[in-house]
Homo-oligomer: A and B are copies of this chain.
Amino acid sequence: MRILLTNDDGIYSNGIRAAVKALSELGEVYVVAPLFQRSASGRAMTLHRPIRAKLVDVPGAKVAYGIDGTPTDCVIFAIARFGKFNLAVSGINLGENLSTEITVSGTASAAIEAATHGIPSIAMSLEVDWKKTLGEGEGIDFSVSALFLRRIAEKVLRRGLPKGVDMLNVNVPSDATPETPIAITRLARKRYCPTVEERIDPRGHPYYWIVGRRTTEFEPGTDAYALKMERKISITPINIDMTANVDFHNLLSELG
């Protein structure tokens, strides 16, 4: 079995290293990941400049490249260089990826990119207490999330994804144990209410930070509710086709 592994925290993240270990028991793991932190990249592609690829030593991987591009660039590079894969995994991400904001997430978007190439994919994210870790996830215990990644990946490799499902978006609570239950969930509508914070630079000119304020409302049945309120592992089945399920004939009379 050939498994493509990427992430958005970068190839030196402890999260991707934990994923290599978990997945290398299931097949050959090809790691192609950004050289640096590329969170919130969405499904951006680097089209206006060329990208570079650097061989990196990642224990347990068949081969590993670090790319000075986005997570989506990594998926495109991997398929161009190595051909088809039986499974694509993105993660294990430092921090959860919930709600319709998954299209902002580099982790989830890389899995979406793989799905558009017909590769069953899994985006794997671990809720993190940021006070407890440094940049690459030092001090974070990935063992439980790695265990669940291995279990889920094994099932997807054996049976594929059900018809109508292109990708699984998985989130693991920070306090999960091997006995933590799984909930199949839908995406919450909104998880962040981003805004901007104005500051003044030393020369007296304004600049702005984007601030991702979190909502505190959690609707039962959603990924956010399962993770944050029920402390369950949430698995959301994703279909990449965002066409709204409405009556096209009515819509045409309204708009035409």
Contacts and interface: CB of A to CB of B under 8 A. Distances in A.
Interface of A: 37, 39-48, 50-53, 69-70, 72-73, 76-77, 79-81, 100-104, 109, 112, 116-117, 152, 155, 159, 162-166, 168, 181-184, 186-187, 189-190, 193-196, 199, 205-210, 212, 235-246, 248-252, 254-256
Given A47-B212, A100-B241, 11 more contacts: A42-B44, A44-B44, A44-B70, A52-B208, A73-B210, A76-B210, A103-B240, A164-B245, A165-B251, A182-B256, A236-B243
Given A42-B103, A45-B104, A195-B76, A251 B208 contact: no
A199 B50 CA distance: 9
13 contacts: A40-B46, A40-B47, A50-B207, A52-B208, A77-B208, A159-B254, A184-B251, A186-B243, A187-B242, A189-B241, A238-B242, A239-B245, A245-B245
A235 B42 CA distance: 24
Contacts of A240: 100, 103, 242
Contacts of A50: 199, 207-209
Given A45-B104, A238-B244, A255 B73 contact: no
